[in-house]
A = this chain, B = another copy of it.
Amino acid sequence: MRNKLHYFFAPRSIAVIGASSQVDSPGYVIFKNLLDNRRAGVLKARVYGVNIKGGVSLGEKLYRSVTEIPDEIDHAVIAIPAKFIPDVLDECGRKNVKVVTIISGGFSEIGNVELENNVREIGKKYGLRIIGPNGLGVYDPYTGVDTLFIPKSKDVDGKEMINLARPPRGFVAFLTQSGALGGALLDYLCGENLGISKFVSWGNKIDVDEIDMLEYLKDDPNTRVVAIYVEALKERAREFVRIGREFTLIKPIVILKGGTTEAGARATQTHTASLAGDYAVYIGAFKHMGAVIVESVMELMDASKALALQPPARGRNIGIISNGGGPGIITADLLEKRGLRVPPLSDDTLRELKQAINEGIIPTIATFANPIDISGTATDEAYVRATELVLNDKNIDLVIILALHHPPTLTSKLPDKLISVVKDSKKPVLVMDIGLGELSEYVRRRFEASNIPAYALPIRIVNGACALVNYGEYLARRGALDEYIEKWSPPRISG
């Protein structure tokens, strides 16, 4: 039997309960998202609006109840005041709806514990799976399901500006207990062009939780890595660790824990109605399950990108190729401070690098301490040769290419030339090009289109490298690294 969670992301039909004609109300925004995606051909599901007052919204008839819809409903999205939800949920149960996303707040997070328990019980009675309440719900760029009530644009002095675009298709599933963080993260991901496979914001998390999603995502072909923001795990913590420890043999998990300090923990108590618990206990458990533990939103993104696109590293020895001393030195400093190593290259590699100088391919002023600096006068060919040699160095487990595009000697063909060298490698490769200008973005996107993660700052590429090393060391401890790398293949956008 298919995992029932499938209906959240790929329903045949969706009802929006609380669809309305009031612009920018949550029900309106969600109804519009879905209708737009259906009209654009992305969403295949049939879409229905429900409003107790009936009427019309966005040119569509609104049904007074989900039970009036002349079709089976797989996924109901509820965006109405909390107190009406038990009755509506009961109707969903009688209608044989499969899964429900509850957007509305007004439950345990403001003390309405009984109402929340009541909703949970109704769900159980009918076997309805529930995401929420008090979250943003789900977004799936592959199927077009989008329950985010955040408008895509807003009026600024009479001009429509993008308020929150949706990220493109990719390989990272993001699960978040905080809706605000979730929305903000999506906004950031769009700008970074980091695609996602699925997004779930579950707020009070009264039913579907991390464990359910791991069981579901294990077999999701689009998901290569799961990134989680969690404040508290409540009663299922032990099971999460057990399931997580199986999951991480198949796909990596990255976790950002909120409430790890006194101030943070104090705030979580009043947020999503949960105790953050003892940080050390959480971190110990996450380590045991093999999760890559991160400390910031930025690191969550950087680690997820590396893990989604590249295989884990076989060790902590990093080779750095650069055309500029300073960026290479800063990167080496940051790597070593994080416990990685930037060791001397092997004698064979050094010999061949010197040979490349003699052949006139690498500039005479190049220096081969690791980081190796092929200098600001390096050409595309110098980069290609240095990369080939360092990639094959037996002392090196992961290669960082700092391909600063600025000097006049480098052409816009450099990314393609380097991609052809590294694309079939099972030794991980990361690229950095510092900058936010047109060509910087172009270079990074060119690499990423071929699954080479590209970063705009030294600290961010170091975050990526640490994730690949940490995950590799975990798999090695479990005796699973060789098989994992053997089976590993680059991700591909499906559908």
Interface positions of A (Cβ within 8 A of B): 24-26, 29, 105-106, 109-110, 149-151, 154-157, 161-165, 176-185, 187-188, 190-192, 229, 231, 256, 258-264, 266-272, 295-299, 322-330, 332-337, 341-343, 364-365, 367, 369-371, 373, 376-377, 404-408, 411-412, 434-440, 442, 456-460
9 A–B pairs (Cβ distance < 8 Å), ordered by A: A163-B438, A180-B323, A180-B327, A188-B434, A258-B326, A267-B369, A271-B367, A271-B373, A295-B334
Copies in the complex: 2
Q: In the complex, A261→B270 CA distance in Å?
A: 43
Q: What B residues does A26 contact at CB under 8 A?
A: 408
Q: For the complex, what is the distance from the CA of A78 to the CA of B39, rounded to whole Å?
A: 62
Give the residues in chain B near A405, CB-CB below 8 Å: 154, 163
Q: In the bound complex, what is the Cα–Cα distance between A180 and B24 (angstroms)?
A: 48
> In the complex, which residues of chain B have a beta carbon less than 8 angstroms from the beta carbon of A377?
105
Nearest-Cβ distance from residue A185 to partner chain B, whole angstroms: 7
Complex Cα distance, B336 from A377, in Å, reads 45
- A interface SS class: mixed
B298 touches A457 (CB 8 A): yes
Q: Which residue of the partner chain B has the closest CB to A165?
A: B437
Closest chain B residue to A408 by CB distance?
B24
Verify B260–A333 contact, CB threshold 8 A: yes
- Which residue from chain B places its CB closest to the CB of A231 in the assembled complex? B329
A259 to B29, CA, bound (A): 52
- Taken together as a complex, chains A and B put the C-alpha atoms of A437 and B342 apart, in Å, by 36
Given contacts A326-B231, A459-B298, contact A404 B261 (CB under 8 A): no
* Minimum CB distance partner of A109 in chain B: B365
For A371, list chain B residues within 8 Å (CB): 263, 267
Q: How far is the CA of A87 from the CA of B447 in the complex (A)?
A: 46
Cα distance A373–B412 in the bound complex, in angstroms: 47
Bound: A334/B457 CA distance, A: 20
Taken together as a complex, chains A and B put the C-alpha atoms of A155 and B271 apart, in Å, by: 52
Given contacts A268-B329, A330-B258, contact A456 B188 (CB under 8 A): yes
State whether A261 touches B163 (Cβ < 8 A): no
Q: Are B406 and A341 in contact (CB under 8 A)?
A: no
Check A436/B191 contact, CB under 8 A, given A261-B332, A458-B296: yes
